[in-house]
Amino acid sequence: MAKLEGGTAGFALSSGMAAIQLALSILKPGDQLISLDDLYGGDFRYFRYLHKHVGVDFDQWDGQRISDLLQKITP
């Protein structure tokens, strides 16, 4: 798959949550995560875990107005 997409590597995972965990494993204390507010509930529990145990700031956006999203972004 990676070769077809012009990438260097590909990953096969057993679930969507495994894919989310892998993608978000690059976050470190002080990073910010803004997600849509209508995701699968397990995502929110994982985001709260990252906030509490890793120190990643977490916020939600309703996906309606870009201006609201821009106000949530911190330096």
Percent pLDDT > 90 in the chain is 49
Domain limits at 13?
A: 2-72
Q: Any idea what the Cα angle at residue 68 is, between residues 66 and 73, rounded to 5°?
A: 95
At 6 the three-state DSSP class reads: coil
pTM over 0.75: no
Number of domains in the chain: 1
Judge whether residue 43 has pLDDT over 90: no
Q: pLDDT-based confidence at 47, cuts 50/70/90?
A: confident
Cα atoms in the 13 Å half-sphere on the side-chain side of 34: 11
The pLDDT mean for the chain works out to 90
**Burial of residue 40, with CB atoms counted within 10 A of its CB: 0-12 exposed, 13-18 middle, 19 or more buried:** exposed
Judge whether residue 40 has pLDDT over 90: no
